Amino acid sequence: MSDPAVMAIDRLDKAGAKRELARLALEIKFHDAAYHRNDAPEISDADYDQLRRRNSDLEARFPNLVRPDSPTHRVGAPLAEGFNKVRHARPMLSLGNAFKEADVADFLAGIGRFLKLPEGEPIAIVAEPKIDGLSAALRYENGALVQGATRGDGEVGEDITANLRTIADIPHAIDGAPDVFEVRGEVFMTHDAFADLNRQQLAAGKIIYANPRNAAAGSLRQLDADITSSRKLSFRAYAWGQVSDLPSDRHSGVLGAMAAWGFKVQAHAVCTSVAELMAYHGKMEAGRAGRPYDIDGIVYKVDRLDWQQRLGAASRSPRWAIAHKFAAEQAQTVVEDIDIQVGRTGKLTPVARLAPVTVGGVVVSNATLHNEDYIAEKQIRVGATVLVQRAGDVIPQVLEVVKPGAKPFVYPIQCPICGSPAVRDEGEVDWRCSGGLNCQAQAVERLRHFVSRNAFDIEGLGEKQIAAFYAAGLVTAPGDIFQLRQRLEGGEGSYEKPHGKPLREWEGWGETSAANLFDAIDERRAISLDRLIFALGIRHVGQGNGRLLARRYESLAAFTAAMSPDRLDELLEIDGIGEAVARALIDFFSDAQNRAGWDDLVAQLQVQDMVRAATTSPVAGQTLVFTGTLEQTSRAEAKARAEALGAKVSGSVSAKTDLVIAGAAAGSKLKKADSLGVKVIDEAGWLELIGTTNE
């Protein structure tokens, strides 16, 4: 698939690339939620990585089309219900991926270019096996474990201190560490522990976990720490977060110090060339089947910590580290049927129902087929024998057809849920239901999105509860959620049919659970503007665009007033808001039903204004342009530093530009800055300017 994908990118024009980036942003976001929030991925790691590679390749070819909600800006991992939230002092980032030797060579070459190293200077790299588990952060103060948290969305995680204390590999106290030291590592389950757990689950008539990662996730996120304690979880330290001091100036040295403090650390090697890294990767891949736990690749990290500091991070991942994945495991099976699932934006997604097959020790029976073009390209038919591959996930990728099937799949011309016509717009790859909120599937999915963790995050109001309230006619729009107490517990306007009885008398509910739900709903009446915008579930408007719009308009009143057709040009002037996003917003608020629902909703909420963060940086909030050749640092490093100080770096000079930094041989951008009267400084002036800040 990789070669056709590259060819397709080469043939795309700007408009086509823009549409494709919008589609990829939505699809990757969906799969992030399935993997991180639900521990129920719908595609394989390899298939997911292909989506991300295609997105990255498109952004590299069309850098001016990078979206504010781009997957390259996001670490996916919505939070679990029932835990207090913990804001990480330093973000817990994800890793970029390498798949072949050329990717590893590009990684090393990119480090050399960024740091402007002399050609041929060796770069020491720590190589260590990548465990397939869940990341966790352990905060120690004066040697005592005071807090443990999941990665969550990278910025905020769940407080699971009590659960982490039950893991034998995690010391409750350490000697010799700095006053504050946050250890980061992976929680996982060995193959033997996984088999023991599933035997116990089967004997008790409980769910059987699909793989060790899901079992570890389910065990770690138990609200009862005694349940976690009864399961054999393991932990390996691999990095650190906030620290008051470091015991070494090398990554390998800090790993050694953590081992001396009592942590188990992955065996690792320090390599200085692509050849050495590839040899280590090959050795580990060849022996992976004999390991007592799952590994899915090798992580490469720059050993020198001063270089790590200079390299910094690019959105969702550090520039000084990358994960080199192993090849996927494969098996053959038969496509028994193909179903259609309807998402909240009306997308009709085909899903292959497979004859159950074991791939890499895990039984799989479903595969997402993405869209009509994917099915046609692979010639997937009901009855076909297919080769599927798994790279750590439950649901595999259909790699190819081994034996053709007899029954071709015909894409439906109507929505299988509401019967509305299915449409595929020009330039789009997906078919969509045209029924909008008249389609029960879309309505329910939008309500589920509305109460999801990154939106209103209403504890106790999940998929089953939303479906039940919708079926009863109690909740058909978001505003109805905030009237549930009145409708079900009596009083003026109480709901009488078909459920006149209070919620506590419904099957599966009781006095406590009903009261807890109503209290949880009331607690969410206060919400920030960006989360409210995201919660609406408008197509193309993700968390990034929600924050962008909230920062631009700051208040509910200003945002509401701007959602008018005569303000479309104003929306398009917002950097990062493209035509697709702007029109989606205007279309949503121009619909009478949506506008009435919005008015009803916000009347019941206390929407918090978007407060701008205070900063002492001399360039915070300014738009900068770098031009010419910088002598003392690379352009990439200078841009990264500017963005870290709160500035926005643009590729072109305009009247809105605040400052131009001109290096040697500056050309047309310098001339345009002069003509517009934009302030210009040289590289020395830039370094002096940012040297005045402590940030």
The residue extents of the domains of the chain are: 1-74, 85-325, 329-431, 451-481+483-524, 527-608, 623-690
Structure confidence at residue 239 (pLDDT): 96
At residue 37, does pLDDT exceed 70?
no
At residue 7, does pLDDT exceed 50?
no
* Dihedral angle sign, alpha carbons of residues 478, 483, 489, 493: negative
At residue 5, does pLDDT exceed 50?
no
pTM for the full model?
A: 0.54
User: pLDDT tens digit string along 666-693?
Assistant: 888 999 999 999 999 999 999 989 874 4
> What is the C-alpha to C-alpha distance for residues 117 and 256, in angstroms, rounded to an integer?
27
Look at domain 85-325 and name its CATH class: alpha beta
User: Is 1.10.150.20 the CATH number for 527-608?
Assistant: yes
Instruction: Give bridge partners of residue 148 from the DSSP assignment.
Output: 138
Structure confidence at residue 299 (pLDDT): 97
Structure confidence at residue 434 (pLDDT): 84
pLDDT tier, 115 (very low <50, low <70, confident <90, very high otherwise): very high
User: pLDDT tens digit string along 142-164?
Assistant: 999 999 999 988 888 889 999 99
The single residue listed with the structure tokens 């990554």 is 251
Average pLDDT (90-114) is 92
User: pLDDT tens digit string along 570-584?
Assistant: 888 776 688 889 999
Written as six digits, the tokens of 73 are 């800006």
DSSP state at residue 629: B
Written as six digits, the tokens of 166 are 């039950």
**Which run of H or E residues covers position 439?**
none
Mean pLDDT across the chain, nearest whole number? 86
Average pLDDT (289-312) is 92
Topology agreement, domain 451-481+483-524 and domain 527-608: yes
**DSSP-assigned letters across all residues of 204-226:** TT-PPPSSHHHHHHHHHT-SSHH
At residue 298, does pLDDT exceed 50?
yes
Q: Which residues contact 222 (CB under 8 A, 6 or more apart)?
A: 163, 228
Structure confidence at residue 575 (pLDDT): 65
Q: How many CA atoms lie within 13 A of 413 on its CB side?
A: 0
At residue 482, does pLDDT exceed 60?
yes
**Which run of H or E residues covers position 506?**
none
Worst-scoring range by mean pLDDT, 65-69, 96-100, 630-634? Answer: 65-69
Are 303 and 139 in contact by the 8 Å Cβ rule? The answer is: no
Structure confidence at residue 240 (pLDDT): 96
Worst-scoring range by mean pLDDT, 99-103, 265-269, 559-563, 663-667? Answer: 663-667
Written as six digits, the tokens of 436 are 């909008």
Average pLDDT (410-432) is 89
E-strand ranges in 202-328 read 234-243, 269-271, 295-302, 313-314, 317-318, 321-325
The CATH code that applies to domain 451-481+483-524 is: 1.10.150
Look at domain 329-431 and name its CATH class: mainly beta
At residue 41, does pLDDT exceed 70?
no
At residue 168, does pLDDT exceed 70?
yes
pLDDT tier, 33 (very low <50, low <70, confident <90, very high otherwise): low
User: pLDDT tens digit string along 318-329?
Assistant: 999 999 988 777
Angle between helices 579-590 and 592-602 (to 10 degrees): 80
Residues in the chain: 695
Structure confidence at residue 73 (pLDDT): 58
User: pLDDT tens digit string along 436-446?
Assistant: 767 888 889 89
Average pLDDT (415-438) is 86
Are 234 and 167 in contact by the 8 Å Cβ rule? The answer is: yes
User: pLDDT tens digit string along 253-290?
Assistant: 999 999 999 999 988 999 999 999 999 999 999 888 78
**Which run of H or E residues covers position 625?**
strand 623-627
> What is the C-alpha to C-alpha distance for residues 550 and 529, in angstroms, rounded to an integer?
6
pLDDT tier, 66 (very low <50, low <70, confident <90, very high otherwise): confident
Structure confidence at residue 77 (pLDDT): 43
Structure confidence at residue 459 (pLDDT): 85
Structure confidence at residue 138 (pLDDT): 97
SS (H, E, C) 133-179: CEEEEEEEECCEEEEEEECCCCCEEEECHHHHCCCCCCCCECCCCCC
Worst-scoring range by mean pLDDT, 81-90, 143-152, 454-463? Answer: 81-90
Q: What percent of the chain has pLDDT over 70?
A: 90
Catalytic positions, please? 130
Structure confidence at residue 313 (pLDDT): 85
Angle between helices 440-450 and 463-471 (to 10 degrees): 130
* Dihedral angle sign, alpha carbons of residues 393, 399, 402, 403: positive
Are 304 and 249 in contact by the 8 Å Cβ rule? The answer is: yes
The CATH code that applies to domain 623-690 is: 3.40.50.10190
Are 363 and 210 in contact by the 8 Å Cβ rule? The answer is: yes
In 554-660, alpha helices (H):
556-562, 568-572, 579-590, 592-602, 635-644
At residue 1, does pLDDT exceed 50?
no
Worst-scoring range by mean pLDDT, 7-16, 93-102, 234-243? Answer: 7-16
* Residue scoring higher pLDDT (137 or 553): 137
Are 37 and 44 in contact by the 8 Å Cβ rule? The answer is: no
Structure confidence at residue 357 (pLDDT): 83
> What is the C-alpha to C-alpha distance for residues 112 and 637, in angstroms, rounded to an integer?
12
Average pLDDT (490-496) is 48
Q: How many CA atoms lie within 13 A of 485 on its CB side?
A: 12
At residue 222, does pLDDT exceed 90?
no
Q: Give the number of other CB atoms < 10 A from CB of residue 585.
A: 25
Q: Which residues contact 512 (CB under 8 A, 6 or more apart)?
A: none
Are 323 and 130 in contact by the 8 Å Cβ rule? The answer is: yes
Worst-scoring range by mean pLDDT, 10-19, 490-499, 642-651? Answer: 490-499
The single residue listed with the structure tokens 């070494």 is 248
At residue 421, does pLDDT exceed 80?
yes
Are 125 and 108 in contact by the 8 Å Cβ rule? The answer is: yes
User: pLDDT tens digit string along 48-61?
Assistant: 777 888 888 888 88
Worst-scoring range by mean pLDDT, 152-166, 413-427, 642-656? Answer: 642-656
pLDDT tier, 661 (very low <50, low <70, confident <90, very high otherwise): very high
Angle at 451 between CA 450 and CA 453, to 5 degrees: 110
> What is the C-alpha to C-alpha distance for residues 234 and 168, in angstroms, rounded to an integer?
7
Average pLDDT (358-387) is 86
Domain 1-74 homologous superfamily, CATH: Helix hairpin bin (1.10.287.610)
Structure confidence at residue 495 (pLDDT): 45
Burial of 423 (C-beta count, 10 Å sphere; 0-12/13-18/19+): middle
Closest to 115 in 3D by CA, of 279, 408, 312:
312
Structure confidence at residue 621 (pLDDT): 78
